[in-house]
Structure 1
Amino acid sequence: MSAEFWNMGGYALYVWGSFGAALAVHLWNVLSARAQRRRLLDSLADSEGEQPVDE
């Protein structure tokens, strides 16, 4: 690919920064949902007197 593509016509900082921010938010959303699911499953297991689910 050409340097002009990666430079994005002088807007590379904004374009790649936006991609980076979107990726960070997406990763945070996925990891947060997984952690919340884990806490919920552990809480349910505790309330039923069972061992926590190990995945």
Structure 2
Amino acid sequence: MQQWESWSAFWDMGGAAFYVWGSYGLAFALIALELVLVFQRRKDTTRRLLRWRRAVGKDAGKRNGEGTMPAMESET
């Protein structure tokens, strides 16, 4: 483990600060972008599933004349 003589030397990283901190910054930005996209896809998927569930529910009501799915034989 290298000992730095000061905080400015640590932040300078022996002349490689641009590459080191740039790599950390890029990684952080990409992780943040991925999180935003994941939450956006989750929201869109939830919206699509709710829309599909409503459509299936309306279709089921047309099939048996009520607002519910027909009972299975074992339930009657």
Same fold (TM over 0.5): yes
Letter in 2 for 1:5: F
Q: Which runs of 5+ in 1 are unaligned?
A: 51-55
Letter in 2 for 1:48: R
SS at match of 1:49: helix
* Root-mean-square deviation over aligned CA pairs: 1.5
**Aligned residues, how many?**
50
Q: 1:11 aligns with which of 16, 25, 39?
A: 16
Q: Quote the sequence identity (%).
A: 32
2:47 is the alignment partner of 1:42: yes
Q: Which of 1 and 2 has higher RCO (CA within 8 Å, sep 6+)?
A: 1
Deviation at 1:39, TM superposition (A): 0.3
Counterparts of 1:39 and 1:11, CA distance in 2? 42
Counterparts of 1:25 and 1:12, CA distance in 2? 19
Runs of 4+ with deviation above 2 angstroms: none
Q: Which runs of 5+ in 2 are unaligned?
A: 1-5, 56-76
